[in-house]
Amino acid sequence: MKLESRDVSEGSLLVEFPDVSDADANRFAVALAERLGRHPSRGLLDAIPGARTLFVAFDPRLEGRDSVVRRLRRLARESVAARESRRFRIPVAYGGENGPDLPALARDRGIAPEELARRHAAAEYTVAFLGFSPGFAYLTGLPADLAAPRRESPRPRVPAGSLAIGGAYTAIYPEETPGGWTLIGRSPVRLFDAAARPPALLRPGDLVSFDPIREEELRALSGQARTAAAAAETAADGDALFETVTAGLFTTVQGAARFGLGASGVPAGGAMDPVALKRGNAIVENPSAAAALEMTLSGPELLFRRDAVVCVSGADLAARWNGSRVALDLPFPVRAGDRIAFGYASRGARAYLCVAGGLAQRRPGEPVRRLAKGDVVFAARRRGNPAAAAGGFPPEPVVLPEGELTLRVLPGPQLSDFPAEASEVLFSSAYTVSPESDRRGIRLEGASLPLHRAPDIPPEGTTLGAIQVPANGQPIVLGPDRPVTGGYAKIGTVVAREWPLLAQAAPGSAIRFRRTTFADAGEGTNIAGP
């Protein structure tokens, strides 16, 4: 099997399989990802098959790029065995509020919505690979006349269970996420269970068909699925630490990025500002990966149920402990019954409350859930001696400059797909951070990047800081909860060590980009993860 590789970021590369069909390239990518899983190394973080590529994330501090490529070439020489296929029949309610794009798509095809639904359901599909989000399976076999381009701008919210068409693929969104595909129906089937092994229901090579059902059947089956999902929720593994009196704008529990489930569509996640997390953890003598409370723009009020040692790092959210102002980056003891209240960010966007011993986290792949009033947060159950893995000397905090923030950008994997003037616009324009930004991506507003064709590409793995460009030309910088695979062209990648600066940029902040090279970015600087 012949393969070629090219750099995507300081800690990731894209493997391509030239001179073979799309189907064979996808088959090779899936097989090579499985082999890497059977031959792990300390430096390998993830291997994610795409439509005709394999995205490989690695830690350059533990394994160099050349070593990774040599291992890929060695494993590529093994023969590819056919995988046993399983068959699934998935119920779907087509059209109506469940498939809001079905009428327009049918009208464009010159047929009735009912006929389009019938043709879609009559086909048999094959799982090519998983990506985008946990359990999201890209299905091939869509009738060619039903293919539909992605939207000019992705929807901020696509309901869980939505059946959609994106290019030549069809798929079901397993959870509520942003999405740019054409929505034609909805299914009640649970495609991802974080407690299961493997967590995704479908796997490459499986055969899928759709059974049309009525709206009332969808409601009944969806209710059963919600009940089953609620029953599968497990209690947090520790003691109740504090409860939320008020929740703040967007408060979640976040630790370091957790890799290894990308092939099931699970993003690595982790803190938006990994430097602030590591700094706070080091101050309270936690392992650097310990989970903390991440607060965005405004913070909660917390009532502690037990004694603890805590520290606030990152942005200044005017924290007060029992009414007295709290300094950043200084540990202090709280007692049962104490309150810590956070205000609004005066500078920066995200703050972290680190607690000695760490906080309990949800399983990888479970949706990121913002805290609500009355929620209880649990302490992590200690395993071994946490001091033995303490984070060490705290890294220097991220300091936002006055005025515009300038970020270095590496060439993106689809740079050549853009006209030359697109780069000139990107590097000569000032952009502002949109209020619609979130952990999935920092949306930017400003000069539209010119395109000479639709920016759709065969879906491939994505990296932190990748700058993708949808059809409206407005750049989106992908974050820790980004789609694992994406089908928009990427013009560049923000240098990893500068991602925390962008993570601390509040809505309305001015951003500029500056060209750089992989040589200037340098290996060993991957503080934010691939």
173 — pLDDT class (breaks 50, 70, 90): very high
Q: What is the mean pLDDT of the chain?
A: 92
Quick check: 529 pLDDT over 60? Answer: no
Contact 495, 409 (CB under 8 A): yes
Pairing of strands 308-316, 320-321: unpaired
Per-residue DSSP letters for 474-490? --EEE-TT--SEEEE-E
Say whether pLDDT at 512 is over 80.
yes
pLDDT digits (tens, 9 = 90+) for 467-478: 999 999 999 999
SS3 225: helix
Which residues, in sequence order, are bridge partners of residue 193? none
Cα distances from 395 to residues 198, 317, 318, 326, 444, in angstroms, run: 36, 20, 22, 20, 29
Q: Are the CB atoms for 56 and 47 separated by under 8 Å?
A: yes
Alpha carbon distance 47, 262 (integer Å): 7
- All residues at 6 or more sequence positions from 376 whose CB lies less than 8 Å from its CB, including other chains: 240, 241, 242, 243, 244, 305
pLDDT band at 525 (very low <50, low <70, confident <90, very high): very low
pLDDT-derived band at 447 (thresholds 50, 70, 90) equals: very high
- Distance from chain centroid for Cα 415: 22
pLDDT, position 230: 55
Name which of 22-26, 80-84, 94-98 the model is least confident about.
80-84
HEC letters along 378-390: EECCCCCCHHHHE
pLDDT higher than threshold 80 for residue 235: no
pLDDT, residue 392, reads: 65
pLDDT digits (tens, 9 = 90+) for 118-143: 999 999 999 999 999 999 999 999 99
Q: Where are the alpha helices (DSSP H) in 366-525?
A: 420-428, 499-503, 518-521
Pick from 199, 270, 173: which is nearest to 526 by CA?
A: 270
What's the average model confidence in pLDDT over 220-228? 74
At 384, is the pLDDT very low, low, confident or very high (cuts 50, 70, 90)? very low
Q: So what's the pLDDT on residue 522?
A: 61
Q: Residue 128: what pLDDT?
A: 96
What pLDDT score does 386 carry? 44
- Cβ atoms of 527 and 274 within 8 Å: the answer is yes
Q: What is the pLDDT of residues 27-56, one digit of tens each?
A: 999 999 999 988 888 899 999 999 999 999
Element (H, E) at 338: none
Give, as one character, the DSSP assignment of residue 63.
S
Spell out the alpha helix ranges (H) of 264-383: 274-283
The answer on pLDDT for 262 being more than 70 is: yes
Q: Are 342 and 298 in contact (CB under 8 A)?
A: yes
From the list 459, 439, 367, the residue with the least C-alpha distance to 130 is: 459
* Between residues 530 and 196, the one the model is more confident about: 196
Instruction: Report strand pairing: 320-321 vs 292-296.
Output: unpaired
Task: Taking the CA atoms of 317, 319, 323 and 325 in sequence, report the sign of the dihedral they define.
Answer: negative
341 pLDDT higher than 90: yes
Q: Is the pLDDT of residue 264 over 50?
A: yes
More confident residue, 390 or 503: 503
Query: Could you tell me which CATH number the domain at 4-76 has?
Result: 3.30.1360.40
Is the confidence at residue 389, as pLDDT, over 60? no
pTM equals 0.89
234, pLDDT greater than 80 = no
pLDDT mean over 160-176: 96
Q: Is the pLDDT of residue 390 over 80?
A: no
d(CA 393, CA 408): 27
DSSP string, 245-284: EE--SEEEEE-S---S-GGGT------SSHHHHHHHHHHT
**In this prediction, what percent of the chain has a pLDDT beyond 70?**
93
Is the pLDDT at 481 greater than 70? The verdict is: yes
CA pair distance 304, 112, nearest whole angstrom: 59
Radius of gyration of the chain (CA): 23
Crossing angle of the two packed helices 22-38 and 65-76, in degrees rounded to 10: 110
Does the domain spanning 405-521 belong to CATH 1.10.3210.10?
no
* pLDDT tens track for 297-325: 999 999 999 999 999 999 999 999 999 99
Place of tokens 């950008």: 409
> Band of the pLDDT at 237, cuts 50, 70, 90?
low
Decide yes or no: CATH 2.40.100.10 for domain 87-232.
Answer: yes
pLDDT of amino acid 504: 97
Rounded to 10°, the helix 102-109/113-122 angle is 90
The reported pLDDT for the residue numbered 225 is 64
> Element (H or E) spanning 102, and its range?
helix 102-109
Write the burial class of residue 87 (CB in 10 Å: 0-12 exposed, 13-18 middle, 19+ buried).
exposed
Are the beta carbons of 53 and 461 closer than 8 angstroms? yes
Q: Say whether 33 sits in a helix, a strand or coil.
A: helix
Residue 387 has pLDDT above 50, yes or no: no
Where along the chain do the CATH 2.40.100.10 domains lie?
87-232, 405-521
Q: What is the mean pLDDT of residues 513-525?
A: 78
Is residue 406 over pLDDT 90? yes
Give start-end residues of each CATH 3.30.1360.40 domain in the chain. Answer: 4-76
Give me the residue label for tokens 């299961």: 196
CA distance 350 to 505: 9
Cβ–Cβ < 8 Å for 314, 504: yes
If phi > 0 it is left, if psi is from -120 to 50 it is alpha, else beta; for residue 104 that is: alpha
pLDDT of residue 205: 93
Query: Where is pLDDT greater, at 74 or 368?
Result: 74
Which of helix, strand or coil describes residue 496?
helix
What pLDDT is stored for residue 423 in this prediction? 96
Which tokens sit at 32? 């090579």
Higher per-residue pLDDT: 186 or 81: 186
pLDDT digits (tens, 9 = 90+) for 408-427: 999 999 999 999 999 999 99
Q: How many whole angstroms from its chain centre is CA 226?
A: 23
Q: Above 60 in pLDDT, residue 107?
A: yes
**Comparison of pLDDT for 204 and 228, the residue scoring more:** 204
